[in-house]
Amino acid sequence: MPSAKLSPPRIGVSACFFHADPERPIFKGKTLLYLEESMAHYIMSAGAIPVMLPTTVGPWSYADLLRGLDGLVLQGGSDVAPQSYGESPLRPEWSGDAVRDAYEIELIKASVSLGIPVFGICRGAQVINVAFGGTLYQDINTQRADTLIHRDHGIYDQNFHNVTFGGDSKLYDIFGKNSNHTINSVHHQAIKDVGKGLHVEARAPDDTIEAVRLHDNGAYVFGVQWHPEFQDPNDASLLDRKPILEDFLAAARARAA
């Protein structure tokens, strides 16, 4: 008798926020939560189903939202608020989104408690670091000397640089010893003090941290600073976007089994 077909993993995705805006012509004064399309398609490309997660109300906890899901992905987007890691903004435009921070930190904590794998992308890697007690550079080029341009608004996700994986990292195991990997770069904040239990897995040529992974209690918590979902999957000049997603989904499937 043939074995039953396994159900695709269902992956919760933290929402991006458009906060209430009385001047917005549609949904005036309403808070909008959204999922960026290429993120949804990236998750689906490996045979998983994305499910965007709302904020909670009434008796519902974030653990309630996560039950029945097999993984959590944290999207990119707005700056992490300096107040979320005990600092004040150096400039008003770097104030970030403390409301979204609190929502995502609760999702991370609930996921770890439930044994649900977590994968953070760009802002997602930064908020993972903050959730584990780490801090951020509010602006890389302002706070550090001799750094690369990590965000160029004009060319956006066509801004590239190389990345190197630590020899004791899972990324090294996945991709091998070749250090000439090219990634996109769309961020101006970056990890400064690494959170408790997190291990640095990748760095840019200017030593900016590009990936972290939790080494604690067997939990799967991993974050990358680049945007694999923005890549052209047929561009062989860039680091293959598939293996890190497949590794995360393998952990999600193992939990669901």
Sign of CA dihedral 156, 160, 161, 166: positive
Nearest to 230 by CA among 241, 214, 220, 244: 241
Query: Which residues are part of the catalytic machinery?
Result: 122, 227, 229
Residue 1 lies in a domain: no
pLDDT at 2: 46
Q: Does residue 4 sit within a domain?
A: no
Residue 93 in any domain: the answer is yes
Rounded Cα distance, 257 and 240, in Å: 27
Instruction: For residue 2, tell me if it sits in a domain.
Output: no
Structure confidence at residue 257 (pLDDT)? 74
Model pLDDT, residue 178: 64
List the CATH number of the domain containing 195: 3.40.50.880
Enter the pTM of the model. 0.95
Q: How do the pLDDT tens digits run along the chain, 257 residues long?
A: 444 567 999 999 999 999 999 999 999 999 999 999 999 999 999 999 999 999 999 999 999 999 999 999 999 999 999 999 999 999 999 999 999 999 999 999 999 999 999 999 999 999 999 999 999 999 999 999 999 999 999 999 999 999 999 888 999 999 986 667 999 999 999 999 999 999 999 999 999 999 999 987 689 999 999 999 999 999 999 999 999 999 999 999 998 77
User: Does residue 225 belong to any structural domain of this protein?
Assistant: yes
Contact 66, 26 (CB under 8 A): no
Q: What is the pLDDT, as a whole number, of residue 62?
A: 97
Task: Give the residue numbers spanning the domain of 60.
Answer: 10-256
Burial category of 58 from C-beta neighbours within 10 Å (exposed 0-12, middle 13-18, buried 19 and up) = exposed
CB 213 within 8 A of CB 199: yes
Number of domains within the chain: 1
| pLDDT score, position 3 | 46
Residue 5 lies in a domain: no
Residue 137 in tokens: 């550079």
Give residue 1's pLDDT.
41
180: in domain: yes
